[in-house]
Structure 1
Amino acid sequence: MSQSPISCELHDYIEIACMHRYQIKIKLKGGRVVTGVAVDTSVTAEKKECLVIENGERQSIELTQIARIEALSPDAVFKEIDF
């Protein structure tokens, strides 16, 4: 079963985080937590949208797997976003 894409409003927050290179903490739907700098978005060969972060290495996180993003950077335009 494929998951629905995220809303445009949530996608806007991801774009803001990437544009400003925010340090973020991501809680995934499975409970795992990942931190890093938001750098870009990408689309896989299977047409799945991902957030690319850097945390010593580049890591792609499928947008539909994100439960919450917390901006850790000072003066971020958002604090926490629930997906």
Structure 2
Amino acid sequence: MISCNDYDYIEIVCMHRYPIKLTLKSGEQIECVGLDTQRNDSREECIKVSIQGVEQLVILTDLSTLEVCVDNPHFQQISFKTS
């Protein structure tokens, strides 16, 4: 589970549909657009993203960093710590 404070950053990128780069704990990087938050079939909290027009769910606890790829007044990058 990620902190409520970190969850706010997820909601910001989805609300503004920012292009983002997600780095997973595995090292995999995903360039995408944040769309929404949602639970998957296993009830895990996810961010729904669009990768070249294809929607995909990424489990929030798999995230290491989130970087916004455009200038914005909110933030550029956040690192996640899970509890």
- Provide TM-score, normalisation by structure 2: 0.90
Q: Does 1:73 align with 2:70?
A: yes
RMSD: 0.9
Q: Does 1:45 align with 2:41?
A: yes
Q: Which residue matches 2:55?
A: 58
Q: 2:19 aligns with which of 15, 23, 31?
A: 23
Q: 2:5 aligns with which of 1, 4, 9?
A: 9
Deviation at 1:74, TM superposition (A): 2.1
Structure 1 contact 22–76 (Cα < 8 Å) conserved: no
Distance in 2 of aligned mates of 1:64 and 1:80:
16
| Amino acid across the alignment from 1:21 | R
Deviation at 1:44, TM superposition (A): 1.6
Q: Which residue matches 1:82?
A: 79
Q: Does 1:33 align with 2:33?
A: no
Runs of 4+ residues deviating >4 angstroms: none
- Provide TM-score, normalisation by structure 1: 0.90
* Identity within the alignment, %: 38
